[in-house]
Structure 1
Amino acid sequence: MRILAVSDLHGDVNPLITYLEDNKVDLIIIAGDITHFGPAELAEDILNELSSFQIPVLAIPGNCDPESLHINIDNSPAINLHARNLVIKNIGLCGFGGSNPTPFNTPLEFEEIQIYDEAKKALEGVTGQKITLFITHAPPYGTKTDLLPSGEHVGSKSLRRIIEELQPTLNICGHIHEARGTDKIGKTQIINPGELSHGHACLIKISDSPDKEEIKTRIIEL
């Protein structure tokens, strides 16, 4: 299975559309900030356009999306992963959108205790799968994926705690544009693919062999 994971569209889906016209993937994952502070209807338009490629789309809202965006995802052909989970070909997927509190009072922020309770519950529902993908908008605290140029870490401490406790195979995140890159927490690989609006993405390849579950990831330029 080939999965294309992106984050931080901020209303610009053109790099992804261009890529899909020339490349085949089996699943698209969007890790939040589909719009840049709205309007919510723009997210529906973007998800409808992506779904026209006949590829399943899984999405969560970001902190810069309107508070009601999860409803708009439900109204589109895309699958809303916010605080939810599902299994596709023995791969467990779950997600949690928005972010931990920021200094900017953006539309979709959650207190750490709510992130811990709801995101952990979603991930616990798929821990029986050999490969688990944990899709969050905010990165986990204290990694290369939540590091500002100032040297300050601004990710979610709850997400880090959940990853330490449950060890999903992979955490796809976003939110901190300057922190594109990879890291690890225990056995969990953390990937912030960077801004889709700047042509950044992550390609995930998962072996289809029933005897060997293998996952390879690569940050790419679209």
Structure 2
Amino acid sequence: MKILAVSDLHGKYQKLLNYLKKNHVDLVILAGDITNFGPAELGEEILNEISSFGAPVLTIPGNCDPAGIYGKIDNSNAINIHGRSVVIKNIGICGFGGSNPTPFNTPLEFEEFQIYDEAKKAMEEIKDQKVTFFVTHAPPQGTKADLIPSGDHVGSEAIRQVIEEFQPSLNICGHIHEARATDEIGNTKVVNPGELSQGFACLINVEDSDEDDTKVNTQIISL
């Protein structure tokens, strides 16, 4: 199964449309910041354009999306996985959007206990699947995916805790633009593909083997 994961569109997504015109993927995952502080209606328009290529589109909002984005996602042709889960071809996928508190008072920020409680509920729904994806806008704390130039780690402690407890196959995140990277927490691979608005994405291939094993391969690419 070929999956394209992106984050941090900030309203700029033409490179993604161009890629989808030329390349087949089985699934598109958007890890938040669909718009750049709105409007919410633009989020619905963007999601419908991306969905028009035929592959299912799963999405969560980011901290720079307005609160009204929830209804617009639900009205669009994309599937909202914020605090929810789905199973596609034996892959359990759940998500949590927005971010832990920032110094910038952005529209969708949550306290760590809120993130933990809601993300844990969603992970519980898919924990028995052979392959599990945890899609978050904020990266887990203390990884290459949440490292800012000052050397500080600014990711979510709650997201890290959920990953440590459930060990999903893959955590797809974003939020920290300069922290485009791949890392690991135990058996979980963590990928921050970087800004889609700058043309970055992650290709994910899920390969079933003859044994009781499924390989999840990731590659950060420039579209």
- TM-score, normalised with respect to structure 2: 0.98
1:173 alignment partner in structure 2:
173
2:29 alignment partner in structure 1:
29
Q: How many residues align?
A: 222
**Cα deviations across residues 168-201 of structure 1 (Å, max 9, x unaligned)?**
0000000000000011110100000000000000
Shift of 1:164: 0.6
- Structure 2, gaps ≥5 residues long: none
Shift of 1:210: 6.9
Stretches (4+) displaced over 3 A: 208-212
Shift of 1:130: 1.1
- Structure 1, gaps ≥5 residues long: none
**Cα deviations across residues 2-34 of structure 1 (Å, max 9, x unaligned)?**
000000000011010011111110000000000
Shift of 1:208: 4.5
1:115 alignment partner in structure 2:
115
1:198 alignment partner in structure 2:
198
Distance in 1, matches of 2:208 and 2:144, equals 30
Distance in 2, matches of 1:138 and 1:210, equals 35
2:49 alignment partner in structure 1:
49
Shift of 1:142: 0.5
Distance in 1, matches of 2:209 and 2:25, equals 18
Distance in 1, matches of 2:81 and 2:68, equals 14
Q: One-letter code of the match for 2:204? A: I
Distance in 2, matches of 1:80 and 1:208, equals 27
Q: Which secondary structure state, in structure 2, belongs to the residue aligned with residue 106 of structure 1?
A: coil
Give the aligned CA root-mean-square deviation in angstroms: 0.9
Q: One-letter code of the match for 2:61? A: P
Q: Which secondary structure state, in structure 1, belongs to the residue aligned with residue 174 of structure 2?
A: coil
1:220 alignment partner in structure 2:
221
Shift of 1:71: 1.2
Q: One-letter code of the match for 2:201? A: A
Q: Which secondary structure state, in structure 2, belongs to the residue aligned with residue 206 of structure 1?
A: strand
2:156 alignment partner in structure 1:
156
Q: One-letter code of the match for 2:215? A: E
Shift of 1:67: 1.1
2:184 alignment partner in structure 1:
184
Distance in 2, matches of 1:65 and 1:115, equals 17
Query: Equivalent pairs: percent with the same residue?
Result: 68
Shift of 1:147: 0.5
Q: One-letter code of the match for 1:86? A: V
2:137 alignment partner in structure 1:
137
Q: Which secondary structure state, in structure 2, belongs to the residue aligned with residue 215 of structure 1?
A: strand
2:88 alignment partner in structure 1:
88
Distance in 1, matches of 2:210 and 2:195, equals 34
